[in-house]
Chain A
């Protein structure tokens, strides 16, 4: 179910009469007049609601002799709300792209020819800078403090601050002066 389909369906369901129609159709397939009688609504009103439900993909219809029967599209209601929330949307992709662009802008601003010009004061930007530097550390390797300092010093003279920040941000872990990169 796409994001727009989910919005249309949820919007359509936010009506007591339509919900009552669906509850009736959950029992068995029905035609307009039968639903009208059950729910004490006029047949045109039922038709109006059924059309909306059909447009939202909640019900389908088929011919049975003289009647048009309506049935619940059960598969639509088997979708969990969590599945809808986890659905990838165009908006999510756009957000990712905006995040990527922001990240690149920070990198371009603070790095020059592979050197860190200044340590960002803003935490969000500092984190991006640290994430760039930490890429120089291999994942499963252990480093002693001297090695760590040398790698960081290639970027900036204040390697102590950067090293400490990496630990605080959870990018690296330390134990008895042995450092390793975190996943």
Chain B
């Protein structure tokens, strides 16, 4: 799972840099989107730390724990996206889409690590 930690840290760093660039370029709303993305990577970095703390050394158990949270946590975001679309709340929908896209990135990285 070392690969995944590095992946998450790199993404957090990239999002942070991009947000700073966007803010400097007077694109504040897009900077907020990057912060949202960064926040998702940060959440799963924490999840990974917790998994390591609880099942340290047992790679399979760490992976199982992480995968379960990776499905569990975004379920609420998917529901929120559905609700936002239903009510025509495009702003909220966009935020939820950004969060779910970040989750897809993490899932792809996890697959690669297999």
User: A residues touching B (Cβ–Cβ < 8 Å)?
Assistant: 14-17, 41, 44-45, 47-49, 51-52
- State the CA gap A172–B33 with chains docked (Å): 64
Can you list 27 residue pairs at the A/B interface with Cβ under 8 Å?
A14-B26, A14-B28, A15-B26, A15-B27, A15-B28, A15-B29, A16-B25, A16-B26, A16-B27, A17-B27, A17-B29, A17-B30, A41-B30, A44-B94, A44-B97, A45-B30, A45-B33, A45-B94, A47-B94, A48-B29, A48-B90, A48-B91, A48-B94, A49-B29, A51-B90, A51-B91, A52-B29
- State the CA gap A48–B29 with chains docked (Å): 9
The 3 A-B pairs of least Cβ separation, nearest first, read A16-B26, A16-B27, A48-B94
Prevailing SS type, chain B contact patch:
helix
B interface, size bucket? 10 to 19
Prevailing SS type, chain A contact patch:
helix
User: In the assembled complex, which residues on chain A have CB atoms less than 8 Å from the CB atom of B97?
Assistant: 44
User: In the assembled complex, which residues on chain A have CB atoms less than 8 Å from the CB atom of B25?
Assistant: 16
Within 8 A of A (CB), among B74-114: 90-91, 94, 97
